[in-house]
Structure 1
Amino acid sequence: MAVRSPAPSSRSGWWKAGWWKGWPGRVIRIGLVGAVVGIVAMIVAVSVAYSGLPSYSELKSSPNGQMIRVHAADGTVLVSMGPSFGQWLEYNQLPQTMKTAMVAVEDRRFRQHPGVDPLGIVRSFYVRATKGRFTQGGSTITQQLARNVFLTNDKTWTRKMREIVLALALERKFSKDQILELYLNRVYFGGGAYGVDAASRKFFGHPADRLSLGEAAVIAGLVKAPSNYSPTADAKAAVGRAGVVLGLMREQGLVSDAQIAAAAPGKIVFAPEAQQNSVRYFTDWALPQLDTLIDPTGEPIDVWTTLDLTMQRAADASIVANTPEGSQGALVSLDRDGAVRAMVGGKDYVGSIYNRATQAVRQPGSAFKLFVYLAALEAGHTAADMVVDQEVDINGWKPRNSSRKFSGEISLRTAFAYSINTVAAQLGAEVGTSTIADMARRFGITTPINTHPSMVLGTSDVRLIDMTRAFASVGGNGMAVSPYGITKVTTAGGEVLYEHRAEGNHVLVAPQVAAQMIDLLQTAVNTGSGKAAQIGRPVAGKTGTTTSNKDGWFLGFSSGLTTGVWMGRDDNKPVAGLQGGRNPARAFAQYMTVAVAKRPVEAFQTAVTLPEWQLEPDEEAYFGNADEGLPPGTGLEGTDRDPMDQSGEERVESPDTNPAPRLDQKFIDEAVGKSGRVPPPAAPPVPPRESPPR
């Protein structure tokens, strides 16, 4: 009897069928092997990440980003830059509404997944496939925490894989409550606020433990796009996003319709945004200098500055009060060592962050004559030297005095007192415009300076801070003054990263040259159009106004403090009535009265020996213009302010039958009246005339 072989099992038949050995089987086998290898690799990666994770206490104490606190000279915090952090709230201190709202909108399966939510990822890709773009992310709260604390926001697969590994490690090392506590205290909510307490204080003006349901919904809605939904950027968008959050909470059965109605996001009152004041002009100028002062660091730092808050408030008030309508004003005030005590770059920082004290370049008008006379004095001239005020023709350029008259032989002191343009032109031709330009650069002018003959009347653009620096160097008896605003930089723990040290003395001009220049500068304030800058103590300074009243300047110093003021329009259009001896000089006086109030009165080394009044044309550019307030009977008052007619052609004058009187002592006595006139103090001895340096 034949023995039959046993029937093959179904398995052996399936195997013998070759399906498992064919390409489908190979794909499955490779896939299974790959999955096993991937799981093993993931376990290893998570284990490695787990061992390298900081402790919970370390994660609590390490803030995100760099915070910079800027202090005034007295230690007062002027402004905090970068991220802000509120009080750390333990899990039980966090409002339940805040925890519920955040989980509802960011990770509804937070309590179920191991750190990565496969359903969330599938849902994200499904939305991508149906709508053509990612409209919701698949990242869990744990993944977001890993990204915020350890990674960047780069949208790469490498970063995503690291994020997943770290999320799994975090879930293994910390509890769900700890992860949610870390998240709510570390996530960025916009406006520089990190953590719910910082966000609550910034947006609602109270701590996070007092958050209402509506307020919690606003904060929870910010995480998706802080810059778009921040109440400081768009309050309406923030309220709309809060409505979406409340809708999700209702959909998940976390709140009722009655609770949503009571929350009323549309009626939430946001804390007013702190107004940016003129201090920001100073901080915007000073803080970029940190790049050259300290090495890059991510830890919080404190920046200690030279700014005096009392002076800053006085400077701000003086610019706002005295700047003509429709114009802008700027002020810089330097101490004798160059410390910036006040800086105002415009009437309103919120309206315009453009810093006219450090960025704007404008023509200085007659204020530029500082360098003309410094060059002449250094070349060997003295204030007592005699020159001739007469018609001048320099290669076709014929400068005019504001009076369009000539006075004959006068002293340099009188020429400066009356701001005689023809004498300045002759001095420029004598010492050389290149020499004058070099003098300006020596004293800190950083903008290009033309060397045309007319440059002596201030036709080159300059910056206010540079001009103020130049006057401060003259007031410092010819020693260089360099403006600075940062005195010290420290870490939050007090470690000194940088400390300002005074530079060595650098002589710009000989002391006797500076002394004679100070003597001349006193005239504008004591006897001329700069009278509005008087403050009841010795002041030396100079006005300047450009053609058609486009720019008004006053720069001067007293009691070791040098202040420069500029006013004008940003579009460089004329400003009716703007003259250096009016609004800028008044702003100077208003500010300086406060700024030097607690400083001792300091007399200058040289006494004023000029007359009690001064012909100080306050608008002196290419041709120069007449000034106001001249003594009656001089024959110089009431002159036309513009020697050019509207067509630009030079006016033809009838012959002068009344020539201008000679500006000698007899003329001065007759003009001001001899009776009751206080004799001027004796002039100091004139130092020996030196040969110009070679």
Structure 2
Amino acid sequence: MPLRLLHALGRGIWTLILRWQNWLVGAALLAAVLVGIRCYPHAPLAAQASTSTGVYDASGQLLRLTLSRDDKYRQWLPLAQMPPALVEAVMLHEDAWFRWHPGFNPVSLVRGAWVSYVRGGNRQGGSTLTMQLARLLYRLNTRSPAGKAEQVLRAVWLELRYSKNEILEAYLNYAPYGGNVEGVAAASLVYFGKRPQDLSLPEALTLAVVPQDPTRRLRGAADAATGAVPALQQADLNRGLRAARDRLYARWRERHGADAGDDALMRLPLNLGATAQLPFIAPHAVEQVLREARLAGHGDAPRIDTTLDAGLQRVLERQLRETLQREGARGLDNAAALLVDTRDMGIKALVGSADYANAAIAGQVNGTAAKRSPGSTLKPFIYALGMDQGVLHPRTVLRDVPSSFGPFTPENYDGRFLGPVTATEALIRSRNIPAVWVASQLASPNLYEFLKRAGISRMLGERHYGLALVLGGGEVTMQELAGLYAMLANQGELRPLRLRQDEPVAPGVRLLSAEASFMTLDMLKQNPRPDEATTATPARLPIYWKTGTSWGFRDAWTAGGFGPYVLVVWMGNFDGAGNPALIGVETAAPLFFRMADAILAHDRRLAEPAWTIPPQLRKVEICLASGDLPNAWCPQRGTTWFIPGKSPIRVSTVHRPVVVDTRTGRVACPPYDPATTRTEIYEFWPSDLARVFAQAGIPRRKPPDDADCAAGDGDAPRITSPLRGAAYTLRARGGEESRVAFSATVDAGVRQVYWFVDDEYIGAAGSGETLFWQAAAAGTHTARAVDDHGRSDTRELRVIAVN
């Protein structure tokens, strides 16, 4: 190209730039302003209003949809999670040019004004999706030309600040769907009981046409108060809604073509629900998880996934309801139950009361979180601690005899004494005196320290409870008790309960050894179910369980486990009123087993966990009469679990050989003459046990009287009074009130006990008899009991002078 032409072209371009420079500068400035407006920080549209919280069970079933802070059913769903068919249907029906207009559509506005004001037809607003969002966000009155103008300006302002996807997402989440329902997520749950992602094409098209006129198009739908849906359960869906949906489907077919399957779906009747039909499952558990979310600062979370199982929740509620219907005549009208999966400590079902809506029983109180006396349900942990501290093993023979522990003199529930019982029998038969004795032998930790380590809340000082804590003198919640029983299933490791899926499974804190936990569960499995005689088909899985009854018959408990679950059941009254029918084994236990049987029937796949015997555990042979290692004369032997280095070990002394003089029937003195003596085996029971046998009418062959030469290997006497640690009063006027009772438990071969105070002989008493002594002055003394075989026991005695 000649140089002259190039110069001419350059001058022409420069001339054009100079001529249009003002316009170019203006366009650049406008572009900069628009970019600045878009980039300037501004609040997301999702922050314009509060949202509801959807609470779900572990399988994704909705348990409850709460109201937002402004009393709306509204859930924010990101555009990417909305079904494409619903998004496309909304734009096709409401605003086909949404992606191209600047916030308003001039053609639609002119057409709407012509129809509304010139032709006098039905009012048409000509609003775009952006304009409708502006009206919702800024609460505009758009029925007047001025209001419509403001709506247009607000829409343009939204388009300048937000992207098309942000505006579309906001509209779909704020669109009105009748009453106090807003947004497609909430509408999908309310009207179809499902997530938007699960909507069918007819359901998506139905939701797409509702916001245009929600009041008229939902006329005839489910009644908000009763939940009835008479019109929509029939084929004649509300005519206006059906007609609008069919028109939209016709346009949909034009775009997507005919589909026989879609045509068939469109002919099916639609059943719409109502807010009154929203699920209200496990109300106490849902309120607990919502309260915990608020305390953690997550009260506006749109979704909370819990560990609950709605199916198991219904199983427990049904069994509880049916049981109380049968027991109503006995004044039993309230109960609670808790089911925990020990594998991950998730709460699978929580029934806080018999009826959440019943104000007469304070039904809205969550009984699983209320502090109540646990009765005897803590006894398994007494025995577990005793096995860990070498106090006993499962077949150790304990004394169920009248006993005092300092100022505390416990009694059995039935007022009877069984004499010698194994630790297993004492636990499953819930004998109080053996349990208190075991607790009195515990060192570190004792039961109080154990419960503190386990996180039992709001406990008073240890002196407040004393040994009464063993029998339910303190208070625990059902959730705390379930955690303790789950600890046994988890081999002595305590883990916190979980109610939310996103809560991590916390590492355990060891409170018991695996060996003691295993043996305790093995003891509890031997507890026969209360209906064993009448149950035709026993449970598929073994059940380990324990009952409890609080003082004054205020609380009846049963706690235990089967398969992977721990179940705790409580019956009582939230106001603490007593009822003689509130006995654990008679009321709570039957309900416990009905629930356990129903759970096992509900899930046939449940299996017993693979119990592994702890490596340190052994089985040893014992003499059944004493629970000790058998001597040569023990006639009946068995086996028991044994922890080497921990469990108590000694040779039994109950069965002993006695050389009897055949001429006198008395014990013979050595040297023995075979012609006039014979050897017989006798049971040598301590005096307190022998007395219980006699009172119960249980015959025991009494050893013959000793000769003067006899000496034995029996047990030394054990002073039972004066009480250890007790102070006795010396009154100025004297009398029987100032006397101190001296008594001791002695070996079966003992006939006489000699008593000394500060090495001064004060008198003798026969086996099982009591000697009374009057102190001459206040002070600390030493009492000593010596049997007629020379064996002795001592105890410190404190006497206080009072006027």
- Does residue 561 of structure 1 match 2:549? no
Equivalence for 1:170: 154
Q: CA deviation at 1:417?
A: 3.1
Deviations 1:648-687 (A, max 9, x none): xxxxxxx9997125699xxxxxxxxxxxxxxxxxxxxxxx
Please give the alpha-carbon distance, in whole angstroms, between the structure 2 residues aligned to 1:169 and 1:412.
Answer: 84
Q: CA deviation at 1:510?
A: 1.0
- Does residue 403 of structure 1 match 2:414? yes
Which residue of the other structure, out of 346, 350, 353, is the alignment partner of 2:353? Answer: 346
SS in 2 for 1:315: helix
Q: CA deviation at 1:207?
A: 5.2
Please give the alpha-carbon distance, in whole angstroms, between the structure 1 residues aligned to 2:417 and 2:585.
Answer: 23
Change (3 A) 1:185 1:335: closer
Equivalence for 1:14: none
Q: CA deviation at 1:518?
A: 1.2
Please give the alpha-carbon distance, in whole angstroms, between the structure 2 residues aligned to 1:510 and 1:197.
Answer: 51
- Structure 2 counterparts to residues 276-675 of structure 1, below 5 A: 276-290=279-293, 301-323=302-324, 324-325=327-328, 327-337=333-343, 338-351=345-358, 354-381=364-391, 382-431=393-442, 435-448=446-459, 450-488=464-502, 500-525=503-528, 535-596=539-600, 597-602=604-609, 659-661=695-697
Change (3 A) 1:275 1:370: farther
Contact 2:336 2:351 in 1 (8 A): yes
Q: CA deviation at 1:405?
A: 2.9
Structure-1-length-normalised TM-score: 0.54
Structure-2-length-normalised TM-score: 0.48
- Structure 2 counterparts to residues 203-214 of structure 1, below 5 A: 209=209
Contact 1:433 1:451 in 2 (8 A): no
Change (3 A) 1:410 1:201: closer
Q: CA deviation at 1:555?
A: 0.6
- Does residue 194 of structure 1 match 2:178? no
- Structure 2 counterparts to residues 25-104 of structure 1, below 5 A: 52=37, 64-81=49-66, 82=68, 83-84=73-74
- What is the percentage of aligned positions where both structures have the same residue? 19
SS in 1 for 2:446: helix
Please give the alpha-carbon distance, in whole angstroms, between the structure 2 residues aligned to 1:187 and 1:200.
Answer: 12
- Structure 2 counterparts to residues 125-274 of structure 1, below 5 A: 145-147=136-138, 169-170=153-154, 173=157, 186=174, 193-194=181-182, 209=209, 215-216=215-216, 271=274, 273-274=276-277
Please give the alpha-carbon distance, in whole angstroms, between the structure 2 residues aligned to 1:517 and 1:90.
Answer: 66
Please give the alpha-carbon distance, in whole angstroms, between the structure 2 residues aligned to 1:366 and 1:576.
Answer: 17
SS in 2 for 1:572: coil
Please give the alpha-carbon distance, in whole angstroms, between the structure 2 residues aligned to 1:374 and 1:428.
Answer: 11
SS in 2 for 1:387: strand
SS in 1 for 2:501: strand
Contact 2:56 2:304 in 1 (8 A): yes
Equivalence for 1:127: none
SS in 2 for 1:376: helix
Please give the alpha-carbon distance, in whole angstroms, between the structure 1 residues aligned to 2:489 and 2:520.
Answer: 9
Root-mean-square deviation over aligned CA pairs:
5.4
**Amino acid in the other structure paired with 1:77:** L
Contact 2:59 2:309 in 1 (8 A): yes
Deviations 1:300-349 (A, max 9, x none): 74433322233222122122122343522211111123111211112233
Contact 2:93 2:208 in 1 (8 A): no
Deviations 1:275-320 (A, max 9, x none): 6544232222234444687x8596x744333222332221221221
SS in 2 for 1:486: coil
Equivalence for 1:247: none
Q: CA deviation at 1:388?
A: 2.2
Change (3 A) 1:196 1:371: closer
Equivalence for 2:143: none
Change (3 A) 1:444 1:589: farther
**Amino acid in the other structure paired with 1:467:** L
Deviations 1:505-527 (A, max 9, x none): 43221112112211222233458
Please give the alpha-carbon distance, in whole angstroms, between the structure 1 residues aligned to 2:353 and 2:578.
Answer: 18
**Higher strand fraction (1 or 2):** 2
Please give the alpha-carbon distance, in whole angstroms, between the structure 1 residues aligned to 2:390 and 2:316.
Answer: 39
Please give the alpha-carbon distance, in whole angstroms, between the structure 2 residues aligned to 1:601 and 1:549.
Answer: 34
Please give the alpha-carbon distance, in whole angstroms, between the structure 1 residues aligned to 2:489 and 2:381.
Answer: 14
Unpaired runs of 5+ residues, structure 2, are: 1-31, 78-85, 96-111, 117-122, 126-130, 141-146, 194-205, 229-271, 614-618, 625-690, 701-803
SS in 2 for 1:406: coil
**Amino acid in the other structure paired with 1:316:** E
SS in 2 for 1:564: strand
Contact 2:46 2:170 in 1 (8 A): no
Paired residues, what number?
464
**Amino acid in the other structure paired with 2:356:** Y
Contact 1:336 1:481 in 2 (8 A): no
Change (3 A) 1:90 1:448: same
Unpaired runs of 5+ residues, structure 1, are: 1-46, 104-109, 113-139, 150-162, 220-229, 236-268, 489-499, 612-654, 665-694
Larger radius of gyration: 2
Contact 2:372 2:555 in 1 (8 A): yes
Please give the alpha-carbon distance, in whole angstroms, between the structure 2 residues aligned to 1:356 and 1:201.
Answer: 27
Please give the alpha-carbon distance, in whole angstroms, between the structure 2 residues aligned to 1:414 and 1:183.
Answer: 69
Deviations 1:467-490 (A, max 9, x none): 0110111122212232112223xx
Deviations 1:405-461 (A, max 9, x none): 333333322322332212222223332698211222334433425523322111212
Contact 2:478 2:568 in 1 (8 A): yes
Change (3 A) 1:593 1:52: farther
Contact 2:62 2:279 in 1 (8 A): no
Please give the alpha-carbon distance, in whole angstroms, between the structure 1 residues aligned to 2:35 and 2:216.
Answer: 32
